[in-house]
Amino acid sequence: EVQLLESGGGLVQPGGSLRLSCAASGFTFSSYALSWVRQAPGKALEWISAISSSGDSTYYADSVKGRFTISRDNSKNTLYLQMNSLRAEDTAVYYCAKDRPKLWCFDYWGQGTLVTVSS
Amino acid sequence: DIVMTQSPDSLAVSLGERATINCKSSQSVLYSSNNKNYLAWYQQKPGQPPKSLIYWASTRESGVPDRFSGSGSGTDFTLTISSLQAEDVAVYYCQQYYSTPSFGPGTKVDIK
């Protein structure tokens, strides 16, 4: 059974940093691209970043480019999102999602972790 | 960037009746080389993460009831729930994956 478990969310002040983690199990982690998708309270889903299976290629939405960094450790079956220069508008539930093979759509999602940016 | 829109914003349907959700993309998501539409549908129940329902515009995810069906091509797509059940109350999102992913704003489905 595929499982994705996010952690690392919490309350952070504007301008601060946070690192999210997503621990994966139930599939061959190193064979699949992964993404982060966020959802602001009461709002729609927003894709923010993806990383290839090897970690060599990364992709970002304009809204986070230059502030967020996606990475992965295939030896630990873990996906990361380093978030710097956080803003109030980054407040959201952050989901990690497993990409379908060679496609940017998602067959499995984690439960999400809430990030609140507020003073 | 491809912008996704959905209609209606919300709808209320009687149990056992049909629910129809529309999704439109700002440019075609039909890839000519393989004749596939790069369009997915997700269901999100309150307090839960999204769940994949349909991809390639009309291919149901394994385990998804056959009352859920997807149709359409190019820029216009439809998700149909043929006979609404109580457990189908949720927000439904379309998503294109022709280019960097983008989601529609969602359609909330309730029981009338």
Give alpha helix (H) positions in A1-119: none
Per-residue pLDDT at A86:
98
Report yes or no: A100 at the B interface, CB cutoff 8 Å.
yes
Kindly report, residue by residue over A54-99, the tens digit of the pLDDT. 999 999 999 999 999 999 999 999 999 999 999 999 999 999 999 9
Per-residue pLDDT at A102:
86
Q: How many residue contacts between A and B have a Cβ separation below 8 Å?
A: 55
Whether residues A112 and B49 touch (CB distance < 8 A) is answered with: yes
Per-residue pLDDT at B14:
97
Going across the sheet that includes A3-7, the strands are A3-7, A18-25, A78-83, A68-73
Query: Residues of B with CB below 8 A from A106's CB?
Result: 40, 42, 50, 52
Kindly report, residue by residue over A25-36, the tens digit of the pLDDT. 999 999 999 999
Report yes or no: B68 at the A interface, CB cutoff 8 Å.
no
User: Which residue of A lies nearest to B57 if distances are taken between CA atoms?
Assistant: A105
Kindly report, residue by residue over B47-74, the tens digit of the pLDDT. 999 999 999 999 999 999 999 999 999 9
Question: Who contacts A24 (Cβ-Cβ below 8 Å, separation ≥6)?
Answer: A2, A3, A4, A5, A34, A77, A78, A79, A96, A98
Which of B38, B101, B105 lies nearest to residue A44, judging by beta carbons? B105
User: Which residue of A lies nearest to B108 if distances are taken between CA atoms?
Assistant: A44
Report yes or no: B56 at the A interface, CB cutoff 8 Å.
no
pLDDT at position B33 over 90: yes
B51, containing H or E segment: strand B51-55
